[in-house]
Structure 1
Amino acid sequence: MEGKYQAYPEYADSGISSFNAIPIHWSTQRVNYLFTFGRGLNITKANLEDTGVACVSYGEVHSKYAFEVDPNRHVLKCVSSNYLSDSSRSLLSPGDFVFADTSEDIDGAGNFTQFVGEGQLFAGYHTVILRPKGQHYPRYLAYAFDTPESRNQIRLAVKGVKVFSITQEILKNVFLVLPTHIEQRTIAAFLDHETARIDRLIEKQQRLIELLKEKRQAVISHAVTKGLDPNVPMKDSGVEWLGQVPEHWQVLPIQRVLAKIEQGASPVAQNRSPETGEYGVLKISSVKKGRFIEVESKTLDSFADYEPRFKVKLGDLLVTRANTPSLVADSCIVEQEPRNPTMMCDLVYRLITTNMVENSYVCFWLLSNYGRMQIEVDARGSSMTMAKVSQGHIKSWLITIPPLREQSQIVSYIRKSQDRLTHLIERAELAIKLIQERRTALISAAVTGKIDVRNWQPSTSTQAAEPDLPMA
Structure 2
Amino acid sequence: MSFPAYPANKRSGVEWLGEVPEHWNITPLKFSASCNDTVLPDSTDDDYEIGYVEISDVNEMSGITGSTSYKFSDAPSRARRMLQNGDVLISTVRTYLRAIAPVVAPPENLIASTGFAVIRPRKGILDGTFLGYLLRAEWWISEVIARSVGVSYPAINASDLIGLNVPVPAWNEQTQIARFLGHETARIDALIEEQQRLIELLKEKRQAVIFHAVTKGLDPTVLMKDSGVEWLGKVPAHWGFGKIRYFAKIESGHTPSRSKPEYWENCTIPWFSLADVWQIRSGEVIELYKTKELVSEFGLANSSARLLPKGTVVLSRTASVGYSAIMGCDMATTQDFANWICSSKLDNTFLLFCFRAMKSEFDRLMVGSTHKTIYMPDIAGLVCSVPPMDEQREIAAHIKTSNSKFGDLIDEAERMKKLLSERRSALISAAVTGKIDVRGWQPPASASFTESAQETV
Q: TM-score range by the shorter chain?
A: 0.7 to 0.9
1:60 counterpart (53, 57, 61): 57
The equivalences for 1:67-216 within 5 A come to 68-69=63-64, 76-80=67-71, 90-103=81-94, 106-109=95-98, 111-117=99-105, 119-125=107-113, 126-135=115-124, 136-216=126-206
2:241/2:383 contact within 8 Å kept: yes
1:233 counterpart (204, 223, 230): 223
Q: Which residue is equivalent to 1:356?
A: 345
Corresponding letter in the other structure for 1:29: T
Q: 2: CA distance between counterparts of 1:254 and 1:10?
A: 74
What secondary structure does 1:199 align onto?
A: helix
2:323 counterpart (308, 317, 330): 330
Q: 1: CA distance between counterparts of 2:272 and 2:79?
A: 50
What secondary structure does 1:139 align onto?
A: helix
1:320 counterpart (312, 316, 320): 316
Q: CA deviation at 1:134?
A: 3.5
Q: Which residue is equivalent to 2:262?
A: none
Q: 1: CA distance between counterparts of 2:437 and 2:137?
A: 17
CA RMSD of aligned residues (A): 3.2
1:41/1:122 contact within 8 Å kept: no
What secondary structure does 1:387 align onto?
A: coil
Provide TM-score, normalisation by structure 1: 0.83
User: More deviation in 392-401 or 430-439?
Assistant: 392-401
Going from structure 1 to structure 2, the CA distance change for 1:363 and 1:120 (only over 3 Å counts) comes to same
Q: 2: CA distance between counterparts of 1:312 and 1:455?
A: 68
What secondary structure does 1:386 align onto?
A: coil
Going from structure 1 to structure 2, the CA distance change for 1:266 and 1:457 (only over 3 Å counts) comes to farther
Provide TM-score, normalisation by structure 2: 0.86
1:97/1:113 contact within 8 Å kept: yes
Q: 1: CA distance between counterparts of 2:97 and 2:221?
A: 55
Q: CA deviation at 1:291?
A: 2.2
Going from structure 1 to structure 2, the CA distance change for 1:95 and 1:238 (only over 3 Å counts) comes to same
Corresponding letter in the other structure for 1:304: F
Q: CA deviation at 1:94?
A: 1.1
1:443 aligns with 2:428: yes
Corresponding letter in the other structure for 1:243: G
Q: CA deviation at 1:444?
A: 0.8
1:414 counterpart (371, 396, 399): 399
Going from structure 1 to structure 2, the CA distance change for 1:425 and 1:347 (only over 3 Å counts) comes to same
Q: 2: CA distance between counterparts of 1:259 and 1:81?
A: 54
1:404 aligns with 2:389: yes
Q: Render the CA deviation track for 1:424-454: whole Å, top value 9, x for unaligned.
A: 1011101101111111111111111111111
1:423 aligns with 2:408: yes
Corresponding letter in the other structure for 1:112: I
Q: CA deviation at 1:466?
A: 3.4
Q: CA deviation at 1:174?
A: 2.0
Q: 2: CA distance between counterparts of 1:356 and 1:88?
A: 59
1:68/1:116 contact within 8 Å kept: no
2:83/2:112 contact within 8 Å kept: no
1:254 aligns with 2:244: yes
1:268/1:301 contact within 8 Å kept: no
Going from structure 1 to structure 2, the CA distance change for 1:81 and 1:265 (only over 3 Å counts) comes to closer
Corresponding letter in the other structure for 1:16: V
Q: CA deviation at 1:81?
A: 7.8
Percent pairwise identity: 30
Going from structure 1 to structure 2, the CA distance change for 1:265 and 1:287 (only over 3 Å counts) comes to farther
Aligned length, in residue pairs: 436
Q: Render the CA deviation track for 1:231-263: whole Å, top value 9, x for unaligned.
A: 001112223453321111122111221234242
Q: Which residue is equivalent to 1:272?
A: none
2:195/2:417 contact within 8 Å kept: yes
Corresponding letter in the other structure for 1:94: N
Q: Render the CA deviation track for 1:33-90: whole Å, top value 9, x for unaligned.
A: 12222265589xxx999x934343333124xx86644xxxx6533344899xxx9984
Q: CA deviation at 1:171?
A: 1.5
The equivalences for 1:10-89 within 5 A come to 10-38=8-36, 41=40, 52-62=49-59, 68-69=63-64, 76-80=67-71
Going from structure 1 to structure 2, the CA distance change for 1:266 and 1:439 (only over 3 Å counts) comes to farther
Going from structure 1 to structure 2, the CA distance change for 1:160 and 1:385 (only over 3 Å counts) comes to farther
Q: 2: CA distance between counterparts of 1:432 and 1:190?
A: 21
User: More deviation in 205-214 or 308-317?
Assistant: 308-317
What secondary structure does 1:388 align onto?
A: coil
1:244 aligns with 2:234: yes
Going from structure 1 to structure 2, the CA distance change for 1:80 and 1:137 (only over 3 Å counts) comes to same
Going from structure 1 to structure 2, the CA distance change for 1:129 and 1:17 (only over 3 Å counts) comes to same
Q: CA deviation at 1:329?
A: 3.2
Q: Render the CA deviation track for 1:117-172: whole Å, top value 9, x for unaligned.
A: 26414323233222211412111111110111111221111112222223212311
User: More deviation in 420-429 or 395-404?
Assistant: 395-404
Q: Which residue is equivalent to 2:292?
A: 298
Going from structure 1 to structure 2, the CA distance change for 1:294 and 1:364 (only over 3 Å counts) comes to closer
Q: CA deviation at 1:298?
A: 3.1
1:377 aligns with 2:364: yes
Corresponding letter in the other structure for 1:351: W
What secondary structure does 1:322 align onto?
A: coil
